[in-house]
Amino acid sequence: MLADFAVWGYGLAALVYFIFGIYLYAAWRGALKGGLLLLTISVSFLWALSSAVFASTQVAWLNQLALALDVFRSASWFAFLVLLLRPLLAPAARWPLGIAAFIVGSQLIGVLVSGFELVGAELGMRFHIALSLASAVYGLVLVEQLYRGMPTESRWGLKPLCVGLSASYMFELYLFAEGFLFGRLDMDVWAVRGLAHALVVPLVALSGARNSSWSLRMSMSREAVFHSTSLAVAGLYLLAVAGAGYYVRYFGGGWGRALQAALSFAALLLLALFFFSGAQRARMRVLINKHLFPYRYDYRNEWLRFTQALSSADGKLDLGESVIKALSDLVESPGGTLWLRGLDGTVRTHSRLNQPRIDASEPSGSPFLAFLEAREWVVNLEEYRTSPAVYKGLELPEWLALFPDAWLLIPLKSAGSLVGFVVLTAPRASFEVDWEVLDLLKTAQRQAASYLERMLSAEALLEARKFESFNRMSAFVVHDLKNLVAQLSLMLKNAERHRHNPAFQEDMLETVAHVEARMRALMAQLQEKRSIDPTRSVDVAAVLESICRRRKDQLPRVDLLLPADGTCIVRAHPERLERVIGHIVQNALEATPENGKVIARLGGNDADRVVVVVQDTGCGMSDDFLRERLARPFETTKSSGMGIGVFETRQYIRELGGDVRFESEAGVGTCVTIELPRVARGHSGQEQGVVSQHD
């Protein structure tokens, strides 16, 4: 069984050396250090292979071959270490090479003497063990000199090599020191010697990847290291559990097997939780990147993954959510919220990932937005709370208190203008935000901002094309209306010459004249692109009375509530103001059943604002439609609607300096509040006078 273990141990070492040697040969670029390392690994492969064959066959000459190759392996490592030491020694220093040559020559003589049986077997064995012990001691000396002689800032590249070779030489020291004391080698330790040397190879490879002077184009995949480390940790954990289970089974009495089964189940459950825990995976990645690699990120893989996340936004995640996920994955954050600038300059929430819905906005030109646009800094909120002086001039908005776990605030800037920003939540594992993280986030946000800017431009272009299509349709409608108006005008002229029934003809003329006037007004509205006539003082109370009087025959009836003084004067265009408020009232009537209620109320208590409230008990609107679609053109819940009434209302009210707010709940009703700047009483009748319902 011991021989079988030795075969497998040395065979595994030979396989590891062979694979690493092929990789070194492919990565070697002609430098002496890289070539000498390749030679060392090749000799080590031959030594491990011959030792495995000897352990399997027990042929004497194979033992001598393995001993000779072991000497050449030691000589190769000595030569490699001396080559690394050469820049640290005086030009005339020859002692490292001389001592190495003496030890290697003595070992070769010992192999020849024992091979030709020039001395007794016991004496030959002691001679070989003594020289191997000296070789291990001298190897430790060279490694120690190399590590101590290196400048502190340069030790990082050679540290894995020094740790690995120190461990292997200490193993040799233990094996041959015990053998020298007892006159023979411990075969149990000798059987695992190959396996011990194979474990050093990854550390040698890591140093090869870190030292460009070796001219080895070697790279270690972070994913491979992560999965290898995870498997190693899992293996050690299972070995510990197996040992604990063995102890419980044989020392637990009658409960031994039951306790072992319970312990095994609990251990496997804990292992499964570890592997499926995002926080634990994040901690392991941070640990590996911090201690095994010169930089935190594998930039090629990170950039490919980031670009793929932005370009593959689909039904699962829209572009906004993809931006949040791509940025959060860079810093192990579980999610965040994206804020984008609208057409009016106000920044509002657009998308969220693993965050509750929060309705808040940041007005255009605020000090907070000005800071982000001017500095383009990634704001670490933890750092801001402890050292606010670092972010001099930054004023955090009040709505940020709604994000208790907010961590990083990343501006999104493209083509010199601020598109928006992202608020990321605290990471799954402790994460240090250093210069490397900040540089990567700044570069990533520029690319994300360009994608978002293109998305906003595409949406604006789509709306513009919709308006263009609507205007084209309006031109045809205007053409038809002009023909109808011409026909009605001809009817009026003929009717005036044929008044046989005066009452009937007068009624007919009045009706036709009214239709003609309405059609001309509709034609003017369709042709209108912007207001070219100046605003006038308008009595909003009179406008509301006119709107309600025109709809007195509709059900449900509109309940009109006016203030005590009866007048609320604003500056507006009378026809347009009546049209937009009438649209709100008409929407309320159409959404409310006949037994429902519609109330139009005019608030007159505020000295600066006139408030018009239209409230109904109709079908209402969903939160999603109210927040995302209501104010957008060509979006409507009515089957026959065109979806531009609310858009026009909001645009015109804001043009007058006011605002419109919508509150609705599906199945309960809707409340629309219109606020307009009030005209002072002393100026209400100046200029062209107050327009009432009789004008």
Nearest residue to 586 (alpha-carbon basis) of 529, 531, 640: 640
Query: Is pLDDT above 80 for 624?
Result: no
The tokens for 339 are 């804020």
pLDDT at 260: 59
Q: How far apart are CA 688 and CA 671, in angstroms?
A: 33
CB atoms < 10 A from the CB of 127, how many?
A: 18
pLDDT at position 557, please? 84
Q: Do strands 536-539 and 690-691 pair parallel, antiparallel, or not at all (unpaired)?
A: parallel
- Measure the CA–CA gap between 440 and 332, rounded to whole angstroms: 14
Asked if residue 340 has pLDDT above 70, the reply is: yes
**Do 258 and 247 form a contact (C-beta atoms < 8 A)?**
no
Judged by DSSP in three states, 430 sits in: coil
DSSP 8-state class, residue 678: B
- Average pLDDT in the 10-26 region? 89
- Strand, helix or coil for residue 270: helix
Greater confidence (473 vs 530) lies with 473
Per-residue pLDDT at 684: 47
Helix or strand (DSSP H, E) at 671: strand 669-677
- Cβ pair 245, 260 in contact under 8 A: yes
Residue 16 is which amino acid? Answer: V
Q: What is the pLDDT of residues 543-582, one digit of tens each?
A: 888 888 877 767 788 888 888 776 688 888 887 788 788 8
More confident residue, 221 or 666: 666
Name the band, by pLDDT with cuts 50, 70 and 90, for residue 338. Answer: very high
At 390, is the pLDDT very low, low, confident or very high (cuts 50, 70, 90)? confident
At 43-85, the pLDDT tens digits run: 999 999 999 898 888 888 888 888 899 999 999 999 999 888 8
Residue 509's Cβ-count burial label (10 Å; 0-12, 13-18, 19+) is middle
Residue 531 pLDDT exceeds 50: no
Under 8 Å between Cβ of 627 and 675: no
- What's the pLDDT score for residue 695? 45
Residue 293 in this model has a pLDDT that exceeds 90? no
User: 210 falls in which pLDDT band (50, 70, 90)?
Assistant: confident
Of 114-123, 215-224, 446-455, the one with minimum mean pLDDT is: 215-224
pLDDT in the model for residue 521: 64
Q: Tally Cβ neighbours within 10 Å of residue 60.
A: 10
Q: State pLDDT tens for residues 23-36.
A: 888 888 778 888 89
Taking all residues of the chain, what is their mean pLDDT, rounded to a whole number? 77
Residue of higher predicted confidence among 410 and 489 = 410
Give the model's confidence band at 295: pLDDT under 50 very low, under 70 low, under 90 confident, else very high.
Answer: low
pLDDT band, very low/low/confident/very high, at 411 (cuts 50, 70, 90): very high
- Say which range, 457-466, 483-492, 654-663, has the weakest mean pLDDT: 483-492
Higher pLDDT, 462 or 614: 614
- Region 473-484 average pLDDT: 55
Q: What is the pLDDT of residue 641?
A: 47
Reported as a single tens digit per residue, the pLDDT across 442-459 is 888 888 888 888 887 777
Burial of 324 per CB tally in 10 Å (0-12, 13-18, 19+): buried
- Section 422-437 average pLDDT: 83
- 540 pLDDT more than 60: yes
Q: What is the arrangement of strands in the sheet containing 569-572, beginning at the earlier edge strand?
A: 569-572, 536-539, 690-691
